[in-house]
Amino acid sequence: MAFSMPSNSGKSRFTIDIAAHVALVHKKKVLIISNEMSEDKMKLCLITTIINNKAIQELHGVHLSKTEGELLEFKFRADDPKNVETDEEGFIIRKPKEKQGDFVKRLTKESEEFRKTIEITDWANKEIKNSIYFINITDHTNDELQKVIMNYYYKEQIEYVFYDTLKTD
């Protein structure tokens, strides 16, 4: 299948959503090849999908809604906003000069939303292992791309390949 959309309309997110569904719900091995998004960005998109996708929520058992921006910016709501300093949206504010590790410990104590996110990512790490493979290829020929796909097919027994984004040249 091929899907086309204008720039910045969600092609990569759509691709990750389908790939995650195939891998996690249908238990098939998938390869996601990107020539635009880095592996880190693709993984952040995947975690966002795993947290928010209703069918995948049924698998991990946690019903939560978090945006990619909230995850990236480490924004989590307080269980009791009266006991901790929060911004106008109810997100816990990191104290000046607070180390990341200390902030994480505080979030663990003060935010159910954070604890649920950790629970989901722990589940995802177990489920994704050996089921979803990412590679980023920017400059390649069709023959090189075919070699990469065949290598994953024989080495990892992948069943589906997702290619984001097809360049006409």
pLDDT value of residue 140:
79
What is the DSSP secondary structure assignment for residue 159, as one 8-state letter?
-
pLDDT value of residue 167:
64
- Preceding amide of 165 cis, omega within 30: yes
Q: Is the dihedral of CA 37, 38, 41, 42 positive or negative?
A: positive
From the list 45, 50, 15, the residue with the least C-alpha distance to 30 is 15
9 CB contacts (<8 Å, ≥6 apart)? Answer: none
pLDDT value of residue 40:
87
pLDDT value of residue 52:
95
Q: Are 109 and 76 in contact (CB under 8 A)?
A: no
Q: How far is CA 94 from CA 90, 149, 155, in A?
A: 12, 44, 45
Size of the chain, expressed as the number of residues it contains = 169
From the list 73, 45, 77, the residue with the least C-alpha distance to 64 is 77
pLDDT value of residue 169:
56
Report, in this order, helix, strand and coil percent for the chain, each rounded to 5: 50, 10, 40
Q: How far apart are CA 53 and CA 56, in angstroms?
A: 5
Q: Average pLDDT per run of 10 along the chain, which is 169 residues long?
A: 81 91 95 87 92 95 95 94 91 95 96 97 91 87 90 96 76
